Amino acid sequence: MFDIRKIQENVLFTAVKNESNEEVATQITDNQGEDNPTWVKNTMARLDEAFDASTVKKIRMNCQCGYGMDEKLAFVKELMSLSSSLEELGNHEKAKSAGLSFSNGALFLMFPFCPCPMLADVKKLESKTWCQCTTGYSKVLFENAFGCAVDVELLKSIKAGDDICLMKITPLGELKF
């Protein structure tokens, strides 16, 4: 069975270890039998205390689980095959129905709900730290689809108190439609 908690514990441990060492990774990811909401909140507090903001973002972006990636990649590639530019892609009816839009040279991805199964029982997060894994997921997805580096910026998070989840996806190279 798909155990998102175990996956998140493992990827977070590895990401923290890659930025520090095994001892720090163990201290941050130690779950002490906590339920998911408590573990998420406590782990993110320990992560925020141990590292500066840019390192925290890097760590969390490396924690994306990859769940459903092949299906989403096929969808974005299909949109690309139906488009001749990023603007056309973002304005395509299929893209809009999936939460994509185009504005000022960038693609935006919006969710009217929190898509993270780990946060299903979390009422509110103290920061957007946990949500940075979705920027990592989106970075991998769009870099694979576009064939170039992309910058992904988390603008809004429902679990951090915003009305929607919103990311800005900016290609850093030339796209081939």
Per-domain residue ranges for the chain?
A: 4-61, 69-171
pLDDT digits (tens, 9 = 90+) for 144-166: 999 999 999 999 999 999 999 99
pLDDT of residue 23: 97
pLDDT of residue 177: 85
pLDDT of residue 2: 64
Q: Within the chain, how many helices (H) and strands (E) appear?
A: 8, 4
Quote the pTM value: 0.91
pLDDT of residue 1: 54
CA 120 to chain CA centroid, Å, is: 16
Say if CB 169 and CB 103 are below 8 A apart.
no
* Distance (Å, whole) CA 111 – CA 62: 21
- Residues of the chain whose pLDDT is less than 50? none
Say if CB 120 and CB 141 are below 8 A apart.
no
Backbone angles phi, psi at 93, to 5 degrees: -60, -40
